[in-house]
Structure 1
Amino acid sequence: MLGILIAIAISWLLLRLIEKKTLVVLGMCPVPKRLKQFSIGFLISAVCCILIQYLEAYLKSSDWIFNKAILSQTILHSFWWDFKSVLTEELIFRGALLYILIQKIGSNKSLLISAIAFGVYHWFSLGVIGNVVAMVLIFIGTGVMGYAWALAFYKTKSILLPFGLHLGWNFIHNTIFSQGPLGEMLLIAKGGHELTEWNSLLNFVSGMVIIPFLILIYVTYFVKKENDLNLTVN
C-alpha cells in the first residue's frame, strides 16, 4: 500500500509542477462511464487469459482441479496483491508520466516510449536477462500489450480501461490459475506431461504475442477516442 501512496504522491507532484494539473486528468474517478470501461477491459483480458490456460492444459493433456484447501481470505489476499501491483504499474507506465509526455511530445512518440519502457521492465521483473530468445519474445509481447494499454489511456483519457485490461489478466493468471508468485490458489493443474519444444513455443507465443496483438486490435478499432473536453468531466 505504501508503494501506491508514494506513486500517487509523485504523480500529483509531477502533474502540479509540470502541467499545473491535478490527478483528475488521469480519469481515476469511478463514475459509471469509467467503471464500464474498467469492467469491459477486465472481462476481455480475463477471457483471453482463460483461453491461454486451457490451451496449455490441452497441450499438456492436464486438467484444472479446484483447490479444496483454499480459503476465501487467501483469495482476497491474492486479489489485493494483484490489485496493488497492477495499480502501481499503471501509475508508473500509464499515469502522470505518460500524460505529461503526450502533452510535451505528442501521442505517437509517447505511446512508443511507454511501450518500450514496459517491455524492458519485464526483462527484469520476469528474470530473463541473458536469454536472448525469451527477451525478444517477452519484449514483443509486453511491449505490444503496453502499447495497447497506453493507447487505451490516450483514447479514453482515463487510467481505468488499461487498469481493467491489466488487472483482468493478472487476477486470472495469478489468483485463479495459480500462476503467480503466491503459490497454489483457486485452480491447480493436475496430471499431464511436459510440453515438447514446439508445443512450449506455441503456448508461449499464443500468450505473449497473439493475445497482446488481439488486445491492441480491440483498443485500436473498438475503443472510441474521447475529445479533450471529456478529460475531467466524465
Structure 2
Amino acid sequence: MIGIFVALAISWLLLYLIEKKNIFALGFLPLGKKLKQFLIGFLITGILCILAQYLESYLKSSTWILNKNITSEIILKSFWWDFKSVLREELIFRGALLYILIQKIGSRKSILISAIAFGIYHWFSYGVLGNVMAMILVFIGTGLMGYAWAWAFSKTKSIMLPFGLHLGWNFFYNTIFSKGPLGELVLISTGGIELIGWTSLLNFVSGLVIVPIFVLIYVKYFVKEKRELKLTTE
C-alpha cells in the first residue's frame, strides 16, 4: 500500500511541476462514467482470460476443479493483492508519465514508448532476464497488451479503462485460474498432457498474441476518443 501512496504522490508532483495539473488530470472523474469504463474493461479481459484458459484446457485435455480450501476471505485478499499491484503499475505506465508524454510528443510516440517500457519491465517482474527466448515471448505479450492499455488511456483521457482492462485479466488469471504467484486459489487444473508442437504454439499465440489483438480491436472500434484533454473539468 505504501508503494501506491508513493506512486500517487510522485504522479501528483510531476503533474503539478510540469503541467500545472493535479492528480485528477488522470481522469478519475466524473466517478460514475469512469466506473462504467472500469467495469467494462474488467469484464472484457475477464471473459478473454476465461476463453484463453479453457482453450488451454481443451488442448491439454485437462479439467478445472474448484479448490475445496478456497474461502471468500482468501478471494478478497487475493483480489486486494491484484488491485494494489495493478494500480501501482497503471500509475507508473499509464499515469502521469504517459499523460505528460502525450502533451509533449503526441499520442502515437507516447503509446509506443509506454508499451516498450511495459514489455521490458516484465523481463524483471517475470524473472526471465538472460533467457533470450523467454524475453522475446514476454516482450511480445506484455508489450502488445501494454500498447492496448496505453491506447485506451489516450482515447479516453482517463486511467480508469486501462485499469479495468488490466485488473480484469490479472484477477481472473491469478485468482480464478491460479496462474499467479499466490498459488492455488479458486480453480485448479488437473490431469492433461504436456503441450508440444503446434498445440504448444497455438496455446502461446492465443494467450500472448490473440488476446491483446482482441483488446486492440475493442479499443480501436468501440472506444470513443475524447478530443479535449481537460480531464478535471468535465
TM bracket (short chain): over 0.9
**C-alpha offsets along residues 36-92 of structure 1, whole Å, 9 cap, x if unaligned?**
111110111000000011011111111100111111111111000000000000000
Q: Equivalent residue for 1:94?
A: 94
Offset, 1:125 = 1.2
Counterpart amino acid of residue 32 in structure 2: P
1:19 aligns with 2:26: no
Q: Equivalent residue for 1:105?
A: 105
Measured in 1, the distance between the counterparts of 2:39 and 2:106 equals: 28
1:69 aligns with 2:69: yes
Measured in 1, the distance between the counterparts of 2:229 and 2:109 equals: 22
Q: What are the within-5 Å matches in structure 2 for residues 1-40 of structure 1?
A: 1-29=1-29, 31-40=31-40
Long gaps (5+) in structure 2: none
Q: Are residues 12 and 229 of structure 1, via their aligned partners in 2, closer, same or farther at CA, if it must alter by over 3 Å?
A: closer
Kept after mapping to 2: 8 A contact 1:137/1:205: no
Q: Equivalent residue for 2:48?
A: 48
Long gaps (5+) in structure 1: none
Measured in 1, the distance between the counterparts of 2:17 and 2:116 equals: 26
**C-alpha offsets along residues 88-144 of structure 1, whole Å, 9 cap, x if unaligned?**
000000000000111111111111100100011111111222332222222122111
TM-score (norm 1): 0.96
Measured in 1, the distance between the counterparts of 2:230 and 2:45 equals: 26
Measured in 2, the distance between the counterparts of 1:40 and 1:193 equals: 35
Q: Are residues 92 and 229 of structure 1, via their aligned partners in 2, closer, same or farther at CA, if it must alter by over 3 Å?
A: closer
1:228 aligns with 2:228: yes
**C-alpha offsets along residues 203-223 of structure 1, whole Å, 9 cap, x if unaligned?**
111101111111111101110
Q: Secondary structure at the match of 1:228?
A: coil
Measured in 1, the distance between the counterparts of 2:178 and 2:141 equals: 21
Offset, 1:198 = 2.8
Counterpart amino acid of residue 231 in structure 1: L
Q: Equivalent residue for 1:198?
A: 198
Measured in 1, the distance between the counterparts of 2:65 and 2:202 equals: 24
- Root-mean-square deviation (CA, aligned residues, Å) is 1.2
1:159 aligns with 2:159: yes
Kept after mapping to 2: 8 A contact 1:62/1:193: yes
Measured in 2, the distance between the counterparts of 1:111 and 1:78 equals: 30
Q: Are residues 125 and 197 of structure 1, via their aligned partners in 2, closer, same or farther at CA, if it must alter by over 3 Å?
A: farther
Counterpart amino acid of residue 49 in structure 1: C
Q: Are residues 86 and 112 of structure 1, via their aligned partners in 2, closer, same or farther at CA, if it must alter by over 3 Å?
A: same
Identical counterparts, % of pairs: 72
Q: Secondary structure at the match of 1:218?
A: helix
Q: Secondary structure at the match of 1:83?
A: helix
Q: Equivalent residue for 1:85?
A: 85
**C-alpha offsets along residues 14-54 of structure 1, whole Å, 9 cap, x if unaligned?**
01111110011101236111111111101110000000110
The count of corresponding residues between Structure 1 and Structure 2 is 234
Structure 1 stretch 87-96 or stretch 195-204: which is displaced more?
Answer: 195-204
Q: Secondary structure at the match of 1:182?
A: coil
Q: Are residues 95 and 229 of structure 1, via their aligned partners in 2, closer, same or farther at CA, if it must alter by over 3 Å?
A: closer
Measured in 2, the distance between the counterparts of 1:108 and 1:195 equals: 38
